[in-house]
C-alpha cells in the first residue's frame, strides 16, 4: 500500500537527569529546630545540594508558599497598628500624600503577611479598612490611578460591605470608589467552597470570621485568603483564585498545616510529639513533595535512635508515602565529613551499602531497593531492584509494535498474486488487530519507561519500529 510511518518511543532516560532539578531535601524535628541542629546538619544538607537536591526556604519554601499556603502569622501586627494607621490618615488629610503612602503601604502589606493576627483581634479590621481606603485615595492624589484601582479592588474583595463615605472623604473620592466597584463587579463572581478536616474548625475568609466546618459563598473574582482556627490553633493561610461562574473548592487540613514549616531559617516538618512524628513524618514529607511537584524527597533531622541522639536520613517514596531507605549516624562522637558524605550518597541512591562507614540501616521495608531485599517493578526511589521486568516488558513492547506495524502495513494487500488484469478476490483485513497490537505496544512501552526510571537505570536507550510494505523493522539503540 506504500504506507510508511515511524513509531519512536524513548524507553529510558537517566534517572539522575530526570531528578536533578526537582529532588528536594526537607528537615524534620520533634518540638522544632534546635539551635545546635543547624551546625549538626549543615554538612549533610550541603552534600545533598551538591548531589542535585534542592533545599532551603528560598527555593523549596517559597515554592510551597506560592503553590499551597503561607504561615498565618510571620512578624505579627505591631501593638500600635491602629495608631500608625491614624498617623497615615493625618498625613493624608494634611495633603501630604507621599507621606501617607509611605506610612500606610507597609502597614497594609504587613497585614496581608499576618492575616492570622486578625483572628486574635477582629477589631483591628476597622483600622485595616481605613488604611486601605486612605492608601488608595493617596495613590490617586499623587497621580497613580492604576495603583488606586488595585488597592480599591483588593479592598472590595476583602470587605463585603466596602464603602467610601462621601461625608468623610469627599465627593470625588466617593465617585472614584464607585467606579472601582463597577470595574470589580464587571469581572463577575464565582463560588468559593472552604472545608475544614477538623469538625468545628472556624473558617476565616479574607481575615473575616465566617462559620465553622464548611463555607460556601459567592465572591468577586480574584484572589482570596482563607484559613481555619481549630482547637485554639491557626492553620496556614491558603490563597484561592476564584474565576467567574466557576466553583473553587479547597479543603484545609489544620493538623498538617501545623506541622509544615516554611520560614527564612528552615523548611520542613516540626512535630509536637515523638509519637506524632513517628506516625506521620513520612506521609507528610510525601505530601509536601507532591505539592511542589518534586520527584523525590530526602528527609533529614535529629532524633533518638536506640536511645542516642542521632542524625537521621530517610528517602521517601512520594507516591506511596512509604520509606525507601533510612539510615542514621550517632552524634556522639561527632560525625566526620566522610560519614556525612556517605549518608548523602546513601540517600541519593548512589550506594546501597556504604563501605568503611558506621551507618546504621534501620528497618528497611521489603522491596525497598536498599539491597537487603531488592524489589520488583514496584520499587521506587533509587534502588536498582530486579532489572528483568523492564527487559521483559521492553521486549514485549517491541514485539507488539512490530506486529501492529506489520498488520497495518499489509492491510488491504492481496493474500495471493492474481493473474494480470484480475481484481484480487481475497485481501487482508488487518486494520483492527493492527491498531490493537500498536495500542498494547504503547502501553507496554509506557510500563517499560516507568520501570527504567523507577529502577534507577543510567543507560539511555531508544526503540524504533518502522513498518514497511513487506513487514516491519525493529531497532533498539542504547548507550552503555
CATH number for position 107: 1.25.40
pLDDT on residue 2:
40
Q: Are residues 459 and 433 in the same domain?
A: yes
Whether residue 301 is predicted with pLDDT greater than 70 in this model: the reply is: yes
Lowest mean pLDDT among 168-172, 237-241, 346-350: 346-350
Which residue range is the domain that position 207 belongs to? Answer: 189-246
Whether residue 345 is contained in a domain is answered as: yes
Q: Are residues 110 and 203 in the same domain?
A: no
Last residue within a domain, chosen from 246, 266, 294: 246
Whether residue 168 is predicted with pLDDT greater than 70 in this model: the reply is: yes
Lowest mean pLDDT among 118-127, 133-142, 322-331, 382-391: 382-391
| pLDDT band, residue 443 (cuts 50/70/90) | confident
Q: Are residues 94 and 118 in the same domain?
A: yes
Whether residue 337 is contained in a domain is answered as: yes
Whether residue 380 is contained in a domain is answered as: no
Whose CA is closest to 93, among 127, 153, 134? 134
Whether residue 124 is predicted with pLDDT greater than 70 in this model: the reply is: yes
Whether residue 2 is contained in a domain is answered as: no
pLDDT on residue 215:
97
pLDDT on residue 374:
33
Q: Are residues 49 and 140 in the same domain?
A: no
Instruction: Name the range with the highest mean pLDDT among 3-17, 169-183, 372-386.
Output: 169-183
Whose CA is closest to 431, among 467, 457, 461, 478? 467
Whether residue 108 is contained in a domain is answered as: yes
Can you give the C-alpha Rg of the chain in angstroms?
A: 31
Q: Are residues 202 and 287 in the same domain?
A: no
pLDDT on residue 405:
73
| pLDDT band, residue 386 (cuts 50/70/90) | very low
Euclidean distance between CA atoms 152 and 135, whole angstroms: 9
pLDDT on residue 17:
39
CATH code where residue 217 lies: 2.60.40
Whether residue 206 is predicted with pLDDT greater than 50 in this model: the reply is: yes
pLDDT on residue 355:
62
Q: Are residues 96 and 156 in the same domain?
A: yes
Q: Are residues 181 and 195 in the same domain?
A: no
CATH code where residue 332 lies: 3.40.50
Q: Are residues 349 and 285 in the same domain?
A: yes
pLDDT on residue 466:
33
Whether residue 417 is predicted with pLDDT greater than 80 in this model: the reply is: no
pLDDT on residue 381:
42
The domain tally of the chain equals: 4
Last residue within a domain, chosen from 246, 266, 289: 246
Euclidean distance between CA atoms 335 and 275, whole angstroms: 26
End-to-end CA distance of the chain: 38
pLDDT on residue 463:
39
Q: Give the model confidence (pLDDT) of 221-236 as tens digits.
A: 999 999 999 999 999 9
Whether residue 169 is contained in a domain is answered as: yes
For residues 113-137, average pLDDT: 96
Q: Are residues 106 and 174 in the same domain?
A: yes
Whether residue 233 is contained in a domain is answered as: yes
Euclidean distance between CA atoms 149 and 250, whole angstroms: 28
| pLDDT band, residue 373 (cuts 50/70/90) | very low
Euclidean distance between CA atoms 292 and 345, whole angstroms: 23
Instruction: Name the range with the highest mean pLDDT among 167-181, 319-333, 429-443.
Output: 167-181
Last residue within a domain, chosen from 224, 246, 268: 246
pLDDT on residue 450:
64
Q: Are residues 398 and 474 in the same domain?
A: yes
Q: Are residues 390 and 435 in the same domain?
A: yes
Tell me the β-bridge partners of 223: 241
Whether residue 118 is contained in a domain is answered as: yes
Report CA torsion sign: 144, 149, 152, 157.
negative
Specify the pTM: 0.72
Mean pLDDT of the chain: 82
Q: Are residues 407 and 456 in the same domain?
A: yes
Amino acid at each position: 500500500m506504500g504506507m510508511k510511518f515511524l513509531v519512536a518511543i524513548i524507553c529510558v532516560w537517566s534517572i539522575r537527569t530526570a531528578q536533578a532539578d526537582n529532588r528536594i531535601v526537607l528537615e524534620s524535628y520533634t518540638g522544632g529546630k534546635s539551635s545546635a541542629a543547624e551546625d549538626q546538619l549543615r554538612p549533610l544538607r550541603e552534600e545533598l545540594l551538591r548531589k542535585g537536591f534542592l533545599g532551603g526556604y528560598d527555593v523549596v519554601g517559597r515554592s510551597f508558599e506560592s503553590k499551597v499556603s503561607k504561615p498565618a502569622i510571620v512578624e505579627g501586627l505591631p501593638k500600635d497598628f491602629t495608631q500608625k494607621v491614624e498617623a497615615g490618615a493625618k498625613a493624608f488629610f494634611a495633603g501630604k500624600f507621599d507621606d501617607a503612602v509611605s506610612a500606610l503601604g507597609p502597614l497594609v502589606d504587613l497585614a496581608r503577611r499576618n492575616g492570622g493576627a486578625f483572628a486574635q483581634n477582629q477589631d483591628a479590621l476597622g483600622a485595616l479598612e481605613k488604611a486601605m481606603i486612605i492608601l488608595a485615595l493617596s495613590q490617586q492624589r499623587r497621580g497613580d490611578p492604576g495603583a488606586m484601582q488595585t488597592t480599591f479592588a483588593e479592598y472590595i474583595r476583602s470587605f463585603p460591605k466596602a464603602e467610601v463615605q462621601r461625608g468623610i472623604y469627599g465627593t470625588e473620592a466617593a465617585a472614584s470608589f464607585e467606579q472601582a466597584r463597577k470595574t470589580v463587579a464587571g469581572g463577575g463572581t464565582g463560588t468559593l467552597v472552604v472545608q475544614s478536616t477538623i469538625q468545628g474548625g472556624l473558617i476565616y475568609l479574607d481575615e473575616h470570621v465566617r462559620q465553622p466546618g464548611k463555607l460556601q459563598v459567592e465572591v468577586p473574582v480574584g484572589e482570596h485568603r482563607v484559613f481555619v482556627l481549630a482547637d485554639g490553633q491557626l492553620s496556614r493561610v491558603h490563597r484561592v483564585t476564584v474565576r467567574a461562574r466557576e466553583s473553587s473548592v479547597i479543603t484545609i487540613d489544620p493538623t498538617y498545616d501545623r506541622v509544615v514549616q516554611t520560614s527564612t531559617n528552615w523548611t520542613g516538618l516540626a512535630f509536637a510529639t515523638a509519637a506524632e512524628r513517628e506516625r506521620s513524618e513520612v506521609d507528610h514529607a510525601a505530601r509536601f513533595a507532591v505539592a511542589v511537584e518534586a520527584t523525590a524527597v530526602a528527609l533529614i533531622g535529629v532524633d533518638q535512635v536506640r536511645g542516642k541522639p542521632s542524625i537521621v536520613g530517610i528517602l521517601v517514596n512520594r507516591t506511596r508515602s512509604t520509606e525507601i531507605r533510612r539510615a542514621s549516624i550517632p552524634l556522639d562522637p561527632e560525625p566526620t565529613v566522610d560519614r556525612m558524605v556517605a549518608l548523602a550518597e546513601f540517600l541519593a541512591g548512589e550506594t546501597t551499602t556504604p563501605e568503611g562507614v558506621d551507618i546504621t540501616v534501620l528497618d528497611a521495608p521489603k522491596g525497598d531497593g536498599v539491597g537487603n531485599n531488592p524489589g520488583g517493578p514496584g520499587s521506587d526511589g533509587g534502588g536498582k531492584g530486579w532489572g528483568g521486568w523492564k527487559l521483559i516488558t521492553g521486549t514485549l513492547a517491541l514485539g507488539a509494535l512490530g506486529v501492529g506495524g506489520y498488520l497495518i502495513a499489509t492491510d488491504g494487500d492481496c493474500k495471493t498474486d492474481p493473474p494480470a488484469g484480475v481484481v484480487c478476490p481475497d485481501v487482508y483485513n488487518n486494520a483492527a488487530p493492527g491498531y490493537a497490537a500498536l495500542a498494547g505496544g504503547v502501553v507496554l512501552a509506557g510500563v517499560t519507561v516507568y520501570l527504567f526510571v523507577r529502577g534507577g537505570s543510567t543507560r539511555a536507550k531508544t526503540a524504533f519500529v518502522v513498518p514497511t510494505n513487506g513487514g516491519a523493522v525493529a531497532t533498539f539503540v542504547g548507550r552503555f
